[in-house]
Structure 1
């Protein structure tokens, strides 16, 4: 034979392959149908009322036999064995024609249009587990073990912001007045690695002035951790120079550190800074909720920063119990002000003393 295969030749090959698979899987029933005998009473095909067509293919009889408007496969579906490699190839074809997105139910609804598979749902699920592309598309990343917390986050500090993480966010565009160009402003976030309190400063540029304003109000930190930004790397020299000009005795009397240690995350690895990156996300969400889409001035932006700072520092750090006799949850404001602060409750309600 030469040339391309015709539709009749392909259909004849399919019938031969399916008939051979049926004869192997249902040998007793197939032999009984060939000889015109009744099926054994213990046969699984008894309720399907099988019969052989002119190609020797075993088909199921149903109540739609006289519906000549329907195709032959819908009136007399071909019975397919559960464990045969033929059904696996047929399911594979329908599964790939559906671009690997058809679910089990949808594939099961398509296949019975021509075939009736014994335990068809289980056969479809078995192939979905074997499909290499579905394995790749549905693969989930492995969950690595969490690394131990850095030592600087586990040290006992005498005050908040002794161990500090710092990061920038922005820019935020502010208006300067009629006829004046808009200016970029940045959010400089400091977070205490122990109490998880935050301090938000508005930076007019990516320099170290925001750090000095934080130091004036929160005290000189012992250790600072940040990402590998050029503005942070350039600030190391200025921080060391600042400490040299301090009175050592005054520093010791105020329980400050004897020096500032700066730690930088590895380059191009923002996941190392999760301790301050998660605070940046919370701060930006609170700021955008306060500002909306309106134009703001420098003063309005700074007010929004302080409002977001108060909101974040009043978040509970411990489990909020519903029992009336349990104490109120611990918040970062307890380390900063000795009370819950924020907008949760007036001061008279907060009677628990959290001071060491």
Structure 2
């Protein structure tokens, strides 16, 4: 071989001057290694500008675009002078050091990256070879220069990672070069919080910059004049081939010793005024002085009944203490039911709890609304007061220290608590307790609408439907009752499932049962015709012996009316019939293979793969012989995937034993 190198062969077929024709001619250029990418960038920019003008694919191009395109076509043949050695290493050299140098740059109209291998042999000779290049146009959406430089850095680090993975060379060191000090500041400052655009790309850079050997010295600064990627970002016309010397051989300092490389500027921390720095968000928690121990006590109970009882006992204790330390002690000692709490005490405790909740949730409403003794008085004040609040649609009123619904039903003939429900906030622990314990559990774990209707018999929750739905969805009892059995995509048919089933019973048994079945559905046959085959004779004998065992006296008249005569014909007549039956059977088998078997390709259900059961999953083991509430819980200890990786059976450990169960007999409660 006279010249072992890469070259460029120019043979672009002319197409119409339209966007479609231009795209077709650009696509004719095959440059997988990006050697001539800088010379393609001007045409990519022209194509992008035509797209921005909203020209249709077959619309004629403007004259200026046609002139620019023809000028590029006239100069393209000059690219045949490009020659790049196919071998990266110099001939007959003993390499002692191999480095990969990756350069990136961006401008307003384009960005690019280029990588070179730098070899040092045993004699100290240095050689640099072009490996891979990229050149892209910038998006039409305006982007700041620092962000474009960061995009170019991402392209650079991805190219370097790909080359290290694909080359068989042992690369001693990988260095990345950029002429943007802003990008270098971003890369070196790993402790600052950046905006999402910058943060995502910095994460990619840090991940691909040799994470096991990551160090800031991998990224270096290079001047624009010594940056070959500057040629890729700005582009060149083919007649400017002479200016691309640095692109094909790399910057001059790569051919010199490391002491002559560009000096590195000081890298300082990114200023707080930088637009890409995410502002600090300070989260504060407001702790009010009005939080009494009783309000804190409300958060410690998981049951509405227990909370009621606790507050009722505290109220009884309070009455006793107040009476004991009353200096006047004019009243008699308080009397209590010795058996336990009364209904009135629990009702008073509920009202006190509601007052505490409303003091926390609706302080402004309590301050604005006048406290009244009755709903009639409250309605008069409510209608005569200019009231602005999120509760204004309910026309709230304050009666005996509790905010209730004024509403529009005050003239209806229903109970007072149904006309003027107590208002509760949307998100509060007491609200959840009332929904779950007082209504959802009492109503037998009914659905959202039924529970909401039950709640509104006494309470009005702001955004009640959403609140009830949110709380009901967390009910563990409902999860146990409504958990669905596992399923997986329908598997392929097994070989034995596609074979016809062969019945091994004697033929005379089949005939006997078929005759019995036919008689029960269609009535008794008066005559049965068959040949003299042994099976048919045996069937007739079996029938007669069986009939002989019946109670002849009781059913003699019935058999006589519905008797059946069996006629044996000659063998020749049925031999032709047998051939006909064989032909019909063969025809059926062929049609079954041709017409029905392809239908089995379709999955009528379980058409999509679902998430596999995993080790450690909490499941409910289906037991069809017991009620759902008694089904045992278990932990998945082992999964059994099929050949396609779909888990269809698992090994489950319950409190009593270990089972192997099909996933259709398991209900997933919580994933591991």
What TM-score does the superposition give when structure 2 sets the normalisation length? 0.24
RCO higher in 1 or 2 (8 Å CA, sep ≥ 6)?
1
What TM-score does the superposition give when structure 1 sets the normalisation length? 0.44
